[in-house]
Protein backbone atom coordinates (compact mmCIF):
# COMPACT_ATOMS: atom_id res chain seq x y z
CA UNK A 1 0.00 0.00 0.00
CA UNK A 2 1.33 3.44 -0.91
CA UNK A 3 2.27 5.63 2.02
CA UNK A 4 2.20 8.71 -0.16
CA UNK A 5 -0.28 11.50 0.61
CA UNK A 6 -2.02 11.55 -2.77
CA UNK A 7 -1.53 11.77 -6.51
CA UNK A 8 -0.03 14.84 -8.13
CA UNK A 9 -0.20 15.59 -11.85
CA UNK A 10 1.72 18.22 -13.72
CA UNK A 11 2.47 18.78 -17.38
CA UNK A 12 4.97 20.98 -19.15
CA UNK A 13 5.40 21.82 -22.80
CA UNK A 14 8.53 20.41 -24.44
CA UNK A 15 10.67 23.49 -24.68
CA UNK A 16 13.98 21.67 -25.02
CA UNK A 17 16.89 22.44 -22.73
CA UNK A 18 15.63 23.92 -19.51
CA UNK A 19 16.88 27.12 -17.94
CA UNK A 20 17.18 28.56 -14.44
CA UNK A 21 13.65 29.93 -14.63
CA UNK A 22 12.26 26.47 -15.41
CA UNK A 23 14.35 24.98 -12.63
CA UNK A 24 13.35 27.41 -9.89
CA UNK A 25 9.75 27.67 -11.09
CA UNK A 26 8.95 23.99 -11.62
CA UNK A 27 11.65 21.32 -11.74
CA UNK A 28 12.94 21.87 -8.21
CA UNK A 29 9.38 21.54 -6.95
CA UNK A 30 8.76 18.41 -9.08
CA UNK A 31 11.75 16.77 -7.43
CA UNK A 32 10.69 17.73 -3.90
CA UNK A 33 7.06 16.57 -4.35
CA UNK A 34 8.21 13.02 -5.00
CA UNK A 35 9.08 12.58 -1.32
CA UNK A 36 5.47 12.99 -0.22
CA UNK A 37 3.26 12.32 -3.23
CA UNK A 38 2.72 9.82 -5.99
CA UNK A 39 3.75 11.98 -8.93
CA UNK A 40 2.85 11.89 -12.62
CA UNK A 41 4.82 14.26 -14.83
CA UNK A 42 3.89 14.64 -18.44
CA UNK A 43 5.68 16.26 -21.35
CA UNK A 44 2.71 17.73 -23.18
CA UNK A 45 3.71 17.52 -26.83
CA UNK A 46 0.10 17.73 -28.08
CA UNK A 47 -0.35 21.04 -26.30
CA UNK A 48 2.81 22.26 -27.99
CA UNK A 49 1.26 21.63 -31.40
CA UNK A 50 -1.28 24.39 -30.83
CA UNK A 51 1.32 27.12 -31.34
CA UNK A 52 4.30 25.46 -33.02
CA UNK A 53 5.12 26.69 -36.49
CA UNK A 54 7.34 23.70 -37.17
CA UNK A 55 7.58 20.32 -35.51
CA UNK A 56 11.10 19.61 -36.72
CA UNK A 57 12.60 20.04 -33.24
CA UNK A 58 9.72 18.49 -31.31
CA UNK A 59 11.23 15.04 -30.70
CA UNK A 60 14.60 16.45 -29.77
CA UNK A 61 12.99 19.00 -27.45
CA UNK A 62 11.16 16.20 -25.65
CA UNK A 63 14.45 14.34 -25.20
CA UNK A 64 16.34 17.41 -23.98
CA UNK A 65 13.64 18.24 -21.48
CA UNK A 66 13.48 14.67 -20.20
CA UNK A 67 17.26 14.69 -19.79
CA UNK A 68 17.04 17.80 -17.63
CA UNK A 69 14.20 16.39 -15.52
CA UNK A 70 15.97 13.11 -14.90
CA UNK A 71 19.35 14.71 -14.24
CA UNK A 72 17.70 17.09 -11.78
CA UNK A 73 16.44 14.19 -9.68
CA UNK A 74 13.10 12.99 -10.97
CA UNK A 75 13.05 9.31 -10.06
CA UNK A 76 11.33 7.27 -12.78
CA UNK A 77 11.30 4.11 -10.69
CA UNK A 78 8.61 5.70 -8.51
CA UNK A 79 7.39 8.69 -10.53
CA UNK A 80 5.62 8.28 -13.86
CA UNK A 81 7.34 10.42 -16.48
CA UNK A 82 5.92 10.20 -19.98
CA UNK A 83 5.03 11.93 -23.23
CA UNK A 84 1.40 13.02 -23.56
CA UNK A 85 0.84 11.66 -27.08
CA UNK A 86 1.98 8.19 -25.98
CA UNK A 87 -1.28 7.87 -24.06
CA UNK A 88 -3.96 8.30 -26.76
CA UNK A 89 -6.77 7.97 -24.21
CA UNK A 90 -6.19 11.65 -23.42
CA UNK A 91 -7.51 12.69 -26.83
CA UNK A 92 -10.58 10.50 -26.36
CA UNK A 93 -11.34 12.08 -22.99
CA UNK A 94 -10.66 15.51 -24.48
CA UNK A 95 -13.36 14.87 -27.10
CA UNK A 96 -15.84 13.69 -24.51
CA UNK A 97 -15.15 16.60 -22.16
CA UNK A 98 -15.54 19.05 -25.03
CA UNK A 99 -19.20 17.99 -25.20
CA UNK A 100 -19.84 19.41 -21.72
CA UNK A 101 -17.83 22.60 -22.27
CA UNK A 102 -19.72 25.72 -23.39
CA UNK A 103 -18.04 27.43 -26.32
CA UNK A 104 -18.39 30.89 -24.74
CA UNK A 105 -16.56 29.76 -21.63
CA UNK A 106 -13.50 28.96 -23.72
CA UNK A 107 -13.55 32.16 -25.77
CA UNK A 108 -13.94 34.23 -22.58
CA UNK A 109 -10.82 32.82 -20.94
CA UNK A 110 -8.07 35.45 -20.57
CA UNK A 111 -5.47 32.84 -21.56
CA UNK A 112 -7.25 32.27 -24.88
CA UNK A 113 -7.44 36.00 -25.57
CA UNK A 114 -3.74 36.32 -24.75
CA UNK A 115 -2.84 33.46 -27.09
CA UNK A 116 -4.91 35.00 -29.89
CA UNK A 117 -3.00 38.23 -29.34
CA UNK A 118 0.33 36.39 -29.51
CA UNK A 119 -0.50 34.11 -32.43
CA UNK A 120 -3.00 36.05 -34.56
CA UNK A 121 -1.98 34.11 -37.68
CA UNK A 122 -2.71 30.76 -36.10
CA UNK A 123 -5.91 30.81 -34.08
CA UNK A 124 -6.75 27.16 -34.46
CA UNK A 125 -9.41 24.96 -32.92
CA UNK A 126 -6.79 23.25 -30.74
CA UNK A 127 -5.85 26.56 -29.19
CA UNK A 128 -9.44 27.13 -28.16
CA UNK A 129 -9.71 23.63 -26.72
CA UNK A 130 -6.40 23.85 -24.85
CA UNK A 131 -8.01 24.05 -21.38
CA UNK A 132 -10.22 21.05 -22.21
CA UNK A 133 -7.17 18.99 -23.12
CA UNK A 134 -5.60 20.15 -19.87
CA UNK A 135 -8.68 19.02 -17.98
CA UNK A 136 -8.41 15.65 -19.73
CA UNK A 137 -4.73 15.40 -18.73
CA UNK A 138 -5.52 15.89 -15.08
CA UNK A 139 -8.73 13.89 -14.78
CA UNK A 140 -7.54 10.92 -16.83
CA UNK A 141 -5.17 10.07 -13.99
CA UNK A 142 -7.64 11.03 -11.23
CA UNK A 143 -5.02 13.36 -9.85
CA UNK A 144 -6.05 14.87 -6.53
CA UNK A 145 -3.54 17.70 -6.65
CA UNK A 146 -2.13 19.99 -9.28
CA UNK A 147 0.87 22.09 -8.25
CA UNK A 148 0.46 25.60 -9.66
CA UNK A 149 1.46 29.16 -9.01
CA UNK A 150 -1.20 31.75 -8.25
CA UNK A 151 -1.65 32.74 -11.91
CA UNK A 152 -2.44 29.17 -12.91
CA UNK A 153 -5.23 28.67 -10.38
CA UNK A 154 -8.01 29.54 -12.90
CA UNK A 155 -6.85 26.60 -15.07
CA UNK A 156 -7.41 24.15 -12.25
CA UNK A 157 -10.72 25.84 -11.48
CA UNK A 158 -11.72 25.30 -15.12
CA UNK A 159 -10.94 21.59 -14.72
CA UNK A 160 -13.00 21.41 -11.53
CA UNK A 161 -15.98 22.99 -13.31
CA UNK A 162 -15.56 20.60 -16.24
CA UNK A 163 -15.56 17.63 -13.87
CA UNK A 164 -18.73 18.89 -12.21
CA UNK A 165 -20.41 19.38 -15.60
CA UNK A 166 -19.43 15.90 -16.72
CA UNK A 167 -20.46 14.16 -13.51
CA UNK A 168 -23.77 16.06 -13.44
CA UNK A 169 -24.54 15.51 -17.13
CA UNK A 170 -23.94 11.78 -16.94
CA UNK A 171 -25.10 11.34 -13.37
CA UNK A 172 -21.85 9.80 -12.22
CA UNK A 173 -18.96 10.37 -9.87
CA UNK A 174 -16.35 8.89 -12.16
CA UNK A 175 -14.19 11.97 -12.56
CA UNK A 176 -12.42 13.53 -9.61
CA UNK A 177 -12.21 17.26 -8.93
CA UNK A 178 -8.55 18.14 -8.47
CA UNK A 179 -7.39 20.51 -5.78
CA UNK A 180 -4.82 23.25 -6.22
CA UNK A 181 -1.51 22.61 -4.56
CA UNK A 182 -0.39 26.19 -4.21
CA UNK A 183 3.23 26.53 -5.12
CA UNK A 184 5.62 29.39 -4.66
CA UNK A 185 6.80 30.23 -8.17
CA UNK A 186 9.58 32.80 -7.95
CA UNK A 187 9.69 35.27 -10.80
CA UNK A 188 13.10 34.65 -12.31
CA UNK A 189 14.31 37.62 -14.33
CA UNK A 190 16.58 37.05 -17.31
CA UNK A 191 20.11 38.32 -17.83
CA UNK A 192 18.63 41.47 -19.40
CA UNK A 193 17.49 42.42 -15.89
CA UNK A 194 14.07 43.35 -17.32
CA UNK A 195 11.91 40.48 -18.41
CA UNK A 196 11.05 37.04 -17.14
CA UNK A 197 13.73 34.51 -18.07
CA UNK A 198 12.73 32.92 -21.34
CA UNK A 199 14.36 31.03 -24.14
CA UNK A 200 12.49 33.03 -26.78
CA UNK A 201 13.92 36.27 -25.36
CA UNK A 202 17.41 34.73 -25.25
CA UNK A 203 17.89 36.12 -21.75
CA UNK A 204 18.23 32.69 -20.16
CA UNK A 205 20.93 30.57 -18.56
CA UNK A 206 20.63 26.89 -19.46
CA UNK A 207 21.04 24.34 -16.69
CA UNK A 208 23.18 22.23 -18.98
CA UNK A 209 25.38 25.11 -20.15
CA UNK A 210 29.12 24.62 -19.74
CA UNK A 211 30.80 26.45 -16.84
CA UNK A 212 32.35 28.82 -19.39
CA UNK A 213 29.01 29.59 -21.02
CA UNK A 214 27.38 30.09 -17.61
CA UNK A 215 30.14 32.50 -16.60
CA UNK A 216 29.79 34.36 -19.88
CA UNK A 217 26.01 34.72 -19.42
CA UNK A 218 26.40 35.87 -15.80
CA UNK A 219 29.02 38.43 -16.89
CA UNK A 220 26.47 39.84 -19.33
CA UNK A 221 23.84 40.36 -16.61
CA UNK A 222 22.47 43.86 -16.26
CA UNK A 223 23.10 45.30 -12.77
CA UNK A 224 22.11 48.44 -10.90
CA UNK A 225 22.19 51.03 -13.72
CA UNK A 226 23.24 53.78 -11.29
CA UNK A 227 26.51 51.97 -10.66
CA UNK A 228 28.55 53.35 -13.54
CA UNK A 229 31.99 53.19 -11.90
CA UNK A 230 33.56 50.75 -9.47
CA UNK A 231 33.56 53.49 -6.83
CA UNK A 232 29.79 54.16 -7.13
CA UNK A 233 27.75 52.64 -4.28
CA UNK A 234 25.11 50.25 -5.59
CA UNK A 235 21.66 49.10 -4.58
CA UNK A 236 21.44 45.30 -4.49
CA UNK A 237 17.68 45.45 -3.98
CA UNK A 238 17.20 46.41 -7.62
CA UNK A 239 19.94 44.16 -9.00
CA UNK A 240 19.10 40.80 -10.55
CA UNK A 241 22.57 39.47 -9.72
CA UNK A 242 21.74 39.93 -6.05
CA UNK A 243 18.39 38.14 -6.50
CA UNK A 244 20.30 35.16 -7.87
CA UNK A 245 22.83 35.28 -5.07
CA UNK A 246 19.90 34.81 -2.70
CA UNK A 247 19.08 31.56 -4.50
CA UNK A 248 22.53 30.10 -5.09
CA UNK A 249 24.99 31.65 -2.61
CA UNK A 250 25.51 31.04 1.09
CA UNK A 251 23.78 33.34 3.61
CA UNK A 252 27.20 34.77 4.54
CA UNK A 253 27.94 35.62 0.90
CA UNK A 254 24.50 37.17 0.44
CA UNK A 255 25.01 39.30 3.51
CA UNK A 256 28.48 40.34 2.37
CA UNK A 257 27.17 41.45 -1.06
CA UNK A 258 24.25 43.22 0.58
CA UNK A 259 26.59 45.28 2.73
CA UNK A 260 29.58 45.74 0.43
CA UNK A 261 27.61 46.65 -2.71
CA UNK A 262 26.01 49.58 -0.88
CA UNK A 263 29.39 51.02 0.08
CA UNK A 264 31.22 50.08 -3.14
CA UNK A 265 33.27 47.54 -1.21
CA UNK A 266 32.72 44.96 -3.94
CA UNK A 267 32.66 45.58 -7.68
CA UNK A 268 30.14 44.07 -10.06
CA UNK A 269 32.82 42.03 -11.81
CA UNK A 270 33.80 40.23 -8.60
CA UNK A 271 30.18 39.95 -7.51
CA UNK A 272 29.27 38.22 -10.77
CA UNK A 273 32.35 36.02 -10.63
CA UNK A 274 31.21 34.76 -7.25
CA UNK A 275 27.71 34.08 -8.54
CA UNK A 276 28.98 32.24 -11.61
CA UNK A 277 31.24 30.11 -9.41
CA UNK A 278 28.34 29.23 -7.12
CA UNK A 279 26.03 28.42 -10.02
CA UNK A 280 28.63 26.17 -11.58
CA UNK A 281 29.29 24.39 -8.28
CA UNK A 282 25.55 23.95 -7.68
CA UNK A 283 24.90 22.44 -11.09
CA UNK A 284 28.08 20.39 -11.37
CA UNK A 285 26.47 17.10 -10.16
CA UNK A 286 23.44 17.78 -12.38
CA UNK A 287 25.65 18.34 -15.42
CA UNK A 288 27.67 15.22 -14.74
CA UNK A 289 24.53 13.11 -14.47
CA UNK A 290 23.09 14.73 -17.59
CA UNK A 291 26.19 13.90 -19.60
CA UNK A 292 25.92 10.27 -18.52
CA UNK A 293 22.23 10.11 -19.48
CA UNK A 294 22.79 11.92 -22.78
CA UNK A 295 25.44 9.40 -23.74
CA UNK A 296 22.61 6.83 -24.02
CA UNK A 297 19.48 8.54 -25.34
CA UNK A 298 17.85 5.16 -25.87
CA UNK A 299 17.83 4.77 -22.08
CA UNK A 300 15.88 8.01 -21.72
CA UNK A 301 13.34 6.89 -24.33
CA UNK A 302 13.00 3.62 -22.43
CA UNK A 303 12.18 5.57 -19.29
CA UNK A 304 9.56 7.59 -21.19
CA UNK A 305 8.05 4.51 -22.83
CA UNK A 306 7.90 2.67 -19.53
CA UNK A 307 6.24 5.74 -17.98
CA UNK A 308 3.72 5.83 -20.83
CA UNK A 309 2.89 2.17 -20.32
CA UNK A 310 2.19 2.75 -16.61
CA UNK A 311 0.21 5.90 -17.45
CA UNK A 312 -1.84 4.04 -20.08
CA UNK A 313 -2.89 1.44 -17.51
CA UNK A 314 -4.34 4.17 -15.26
CA UNK A 315 -5.80 6.02 -18.25
CA UNK A 316 -7.55 2.98 -19.70
CA UNK A 317 -9.07 2.08 -16.33
CA UNK A 318 -10.52 5.62 -16.15
CA UNK A 319 -11.77 5.47 -19.74
CA UNK A 320 -13.58 2.17 -19.14
CA UNK A 321 -15.57 3.95 -16.42
CA UNK A 322 -16.02 7.11 -18.52
CA UNK A 323 -17.29 5.23 -21.59
CA UNK A 324 -19.73 3.31 -19.43
CA UNK A 325 -20.92 6.51 -17.72
CA UNK A 326 -21.45 8.23 -21.06
CA UNK A 327 -23.26 5.22 -22.47
CA UNK A 328 -20.98 4.52 -25.40
CA UNK A 329 -21.50 1.04 -26.85
CA UNK A 330 -18.93 -1.51 -25.73
**Under the rule (CB under 6 A), what is the footprint of ligand SF4?**
223-224, 227, 234, 236, 239, 241-242, 257, 261, 266, 268, 271-272
Q: N- to C-terminal Cα distance for the chain?
A: 32
Name which of 189, 200, 255 is nearest 223 in CA terms: 189
Q: Which is nearer to ligand SF4, 45 or 224 (CB)?
A: 224
Q: Which is nearer to ligand SF4, 74 or 261 (CB)?
A: 261
> Cα(77)–Cα(127) distance, rounded to whole angstroms?
34
> Cα(46)–Cα(84) distance, rounded to whole angstroms?
7
- Least distance between ligand SF4 and beta carbon 207 (Å): 22
Q: Which is nearer to ligand SF4, 158 or 242 (CB)?
A: 242
- Least distance between ligand SF4 and beta carbon 239 (Å): 3
Judge contact between 276 and 218, C-beta under 8 A: yes
Chain-centroid distance, C-alpha 141: 18
Chain-centroid distance, C-alpha 275: 24
Cα dihedral across residues 186, 191, 196, 199: positive or negative: negative
- Least distance between ligand SF4 and beta carbon 71 (Å): 29
- Measured CA to CA in angstroms, residue 117 lies from 110, 112, 271, 312 at distances of 11, 9, 40, 35
- Least distance between ligand SF4 and beta carbon 4 (Å): 41
> Cα(281)–Cα(274) distance, rounded to whole angstroms?
11
Q: Dump the DSSP string for 33-67.
A: HTTTSEEEEEE-HHHHHTT-S--TTHHHHHHHHHH
Q: Which is nearer to ligand SF4, 20 or 44 (CB)?
A: 20
Q: Which is nearer to ligand SF4, 83 or 241 (CB)?
A: 241
Q: Which is nearer to ligand SF4, 239 or 322 (CB)?
A: 239
- Least distance between ligand SF4 and beta carbon 264 (Å): 8
Q: Which is nearer to ligand SF4, 108 or 270 (CB)?
A: 270
Q: Which is nearer to ligand SF4, 32 or 259 (CB)?
A: 259
- Least distance between ligand SF4 and beta carbon 24 (Å): 18
What is the signed CA dihedral for 79, 85, 86, 88, rounded to 10 degrees? 110
Cα dihedral across residues 275, 281, 285, 291: positive or negative: positive
DSSP 8-state symbol, 75: -
- Least distance between ligand SF4 and beta carbon 33 (Å): 32
Chain-centroid distance, C-alpha 50: 17
- Least distance between ligand SF4 and beta carbon 236 (Å): 4
Q: Which is nearer to ligand SF4, 56 or 252 (CB)?
A: 252
- Least distance between ligand SF4 and beta carbon 271 (Å): 3
Q: Give the relative orientation of helices 240-248 and 251-262 as an angle to the nearest 10 degrees.
A: 160
Amino acid sequence: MSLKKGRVFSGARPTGRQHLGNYLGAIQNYVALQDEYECIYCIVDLHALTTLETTLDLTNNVLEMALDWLAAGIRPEETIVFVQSHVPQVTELHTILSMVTPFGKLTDLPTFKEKVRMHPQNVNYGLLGYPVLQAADITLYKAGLVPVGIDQVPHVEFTRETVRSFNYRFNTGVLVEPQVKMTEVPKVIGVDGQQKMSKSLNNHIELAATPEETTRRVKSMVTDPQRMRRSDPGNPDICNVFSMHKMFSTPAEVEMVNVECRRAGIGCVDCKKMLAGNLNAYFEPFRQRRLELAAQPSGVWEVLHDGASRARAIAEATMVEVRAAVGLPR
